[in-house]
Structure 1
Amino acid sequence: MRHFKKQLVSSITFAICLFMLPFSLSAQEKYVAITAIVEHPALDNVKKGVEDELKDNGYIVGENLKLQYQSAQGSSANAAHIAKQFVSGKPDVIVGIGTPSSQALAATTRTIPIVFTAVTDPVIAKLTPSWNASKTNVTGVSDALSLDTQIEIMQKIKPDLKTIGYVYSPGEVNSTIVLKQLQEILTPKGITVIAAPAQRTSDIPTAARSLKGKVDLIYTNTDNNVVSAYESLVKVANESKIPLVASDPDSASRGAIAALGMSYYDLGRQAGKIVIRILNGEKPGDIPPQVGNVTRLVINKNAAEKQGVVLSNSIIDIAAEVIEK
């Protein structure tokens, strides 16, 4: 009888352990939320880079990782709503892709770790007080580029460059920063920048047409509004024979003659590494903001032909990728 009771107790104990196992595993599960201001190839690549970095470091969705993603569909109001929704769920880390989404997150929580990415200047965007470790809940990876290098590419495309058209969204901090920097660098060189604001994606074709006959070239940065509707900008550039140069490598395959910029997939991998450091116990405020460390130049010969440009070997030879068709 005593032996039977001992077996019964052992069986009950074993059953309880089995019953408790999923709960102990779920207690080890990490929760990462990701939000982007809009969906377009560059930002989609950032998201994939973050996800792949997590996976390659042993964080598997459904096993030890809960991963949630939402796009704000280009709306700052949606970004604020998503931020509140995510914060209420208390994830271990929230990734903000793009300035408006990152700003919405930073305005919503001062405790949950935030990792921004695809943000040009986190200091001007008021995400961090400086480029040093913030001692707050925010850190991340910037996609800031050297404009001097961008200008060199523009001059290789158009050696007699005198006027540059800049289509941008005035509501996006990244874009207004770049406009100011372009003007500061180019004015002493005798090159004029003509700004063409487009508040909404539907305004982009009109903004581009306003530059016809006034500029030698149109330059676009990583403005999410513009990149979301890039095909409409390309259509105007092709019709007007205005060379189009971008700072987002994915824009070359969509119709820019040349695009020198961050590899947004690698930018996502870099942000993913910071996420992992935080999941492993580091505080975001102890991790200084970083700048993306992988850039690519992509050339589109077909776009050059449509926009009336003959490309020199000096630019083709330095390209990481040349699109023939």
Structure 2
Amino acid sequence: MNAFKKCAFVFMSAIFILGACNNDTASPDTNKDEEKGKTYTIGITQVQEHPALNLATEGFQKALEEAGLDVEYDIQNAQGDNTANDTIATNFVSANVDLIFANSTPSAQAALSKTNEIPIVFTSVVDPVGAELVESMEKPGGNVTGTSHHHPDSIPETLTFFKEQLNAKKIGTVYNSGEQNARAQIDKLIKQMDDYGLELVEATVSTTADVKQATESIIDQVDAFYVITDNTVVSAFESVADVTSDKKVPLLAADVASVPRGAFAAYGVDFFEVGHEAGKMAVKILTEEANPGDIPAQPPKTLLFMVNKKVAETIGMEIKPEWNAEIHEE
């Protein structure tokens, strides 16, 4: 090979190698740009329409917004109909959404029954293990993880308040016995009431239309009233509040979102934050390809105590400074 051809060969080889190197170094940036430009499709299934669940959905969406993700949401509400829950889940699977956000126990159970491949993130679930959504809180397994809204201190604090601050002995409650979420809470409540010398007076309902009548059926038998995070009852919370207020019976709720709706007080969690934590999990699954089953399910971190000043005045209750309560004023 003469000198000219040899130089030309070396020159062209250098250009080829340089070009190959540039292509290699450009690939990660190209992939990142593609990732940034991706639009995710998320199906949101919510069992019913009420403020606590709505706040959880808002918190979930806020987490994805903060992460800068471009998301198209398909938001569906079952309006308390389990058949609709199944249909919604089936439609999401058929649409092959990138992720399902299941807001409530029935919604999560329906979604999990329809797919073991599409990632599912749940929230507003009392007992994820008991509902058979996860194998354990630490290692959920499968294609699902999420957040519980049941703080372990919520029932003990509520029962202590009934006994020590209200001197109550008989506590009334109304719940949907067909809802696993509600049954789990009632079971926890009954197990702990003996330790406080309290008696539970129950009335069960099937629909929101039954709530007022069920409350009226037991209101004269109780010293105070307690509404757990039962979706059927919470959807008709004002019906309970009207009856208890008229009878001047203190009404405590298990979620602070019910305080502005007429509860006297509540030991509960911020559903926005519970949903927000679930949203962070969804971000990790979508952007880091994390396996949902490897992400520990989380209980709520903070228990709040809130009192409604107007309701306190209506039923003749003094708000004591030592309660350290957040005061809701209309």
TM-score range, shorter chain: 0.7 to 0.9
Q: Is the 8 A contact 1:267 1:294 kept in 2?
A: no
> Which residue is 1:234 aligned to?
241
- Summarize the alignment of residues 55-204 of structure 1 with structure 2, pairs less than 5 Å apart: 55-59=65-69, 64-145=70-151, 146=153, 147-158=155-166, 160-204=167-211
> Which residue is 1:34 aligned to?
44
Q: Which runs of 4+ in 1 moved over 3 A?
A: 24-27
Q: In the alignment, residue 96 of structure 1 is paired with which amino acid? A: A
In 2, distance between residues paired with 1:253 and 1:156? 24
> Which residue is 2:20 aligned to?
none
In 2, distance between residues paired with 1:260 and 1:228? 18
Deviations 1:293-325 (A, max 9, x none): 13322111211222332332222xx11x31234
> Which residue is 1:15 aligned to?
none
Residues 1:217 and 2:224 aligned together = yes
Q: Is the 8 A contact 2:170 2:224 kept in 1?
A: yes
Q: Percent identity?
A: 36
Gaps of 5+ in 1: 1-23
Partner of residue 269 from structure 1, selected from 240, 260, 276: 276
Of stretches 146-155 and 287-296 in structure 1, the one that deviates more from structure 2 is: 146-155
Q: In the alignment, residue 275 of structure 1 is paired with which amino acid? A: A
Q: Is the 8 A contact 2:125 2:181 kept in 1?
A: yes
SS at the partner of 2:80?
coil
> Which residue is 2:259 aligned to?
252
Partner of residue 299 from structure 1, selected from 292, 304, 307: 307
Q: Is the 8 A contact 2:135 2:141 kept in 1?
A: no
Q: Is the 8 A contact 2:172 2:219 kept in 1?
A: no
Partner of residue 61 from structure 2, selected from 33, 37, 51: 51
Residues 1:243 and 2:253 aligned together = no
Q: In the alignment, residue 127 of structure 2 is paired with which amino acid? A: D
Kindly state the Cα deviation for residue 248 of structure 1 after the two structures are TM-superposed. 0.9
In 2, distance between residues paired with 1:220 and 1:43? 15
In 2, distance between residues paired with 1:213 and 1:37? 32
1:312–1:25 Cα change, 3 Å: closer
In 2, distance between residues paired with 1:244 and 1:270? 29
SS at the partner of 2:173?
strand
SS at the partner of 1:256?
coil
Number of positions where the alignment pairs a residue of Structure 1 with one of Structure 2? 294
Kindly state the Cα deviation for residue 131 of structure 1 after the two structures are TM-superposed. 1.9
Q: Is the 8 A contact 1:163 1:215 kept in 2?
A: yes
TM-score by length of 1: 0.87
1:216–1:28 Cα change, 3 Å: same
Kindly state the Cα deviation for residue 264 of structure 1 after the two structures are TM-superposed. 0.4
> Which residue is 2:328 aligned to?
323
In 2, distance between residues paired with 1:255 and 1:79? 29
Q: Over alpha carbons, which structure has the higher Rg?
A: 2
Q: Is the 8 A contact 1:249 1:297 kept in 2?
A: yes
Kindly state the Cα deviation for residue 157 of structure 1 after the two structures are TM-superposed. 4.1
In 1, distance between residues paired with 2:246 and 2:79? 29
1:211–1:27 Cα change, 3 Å: same
Kindly state the Cα deviation for residue 26 of structure 1 after the two structures are TM-superposed. 10
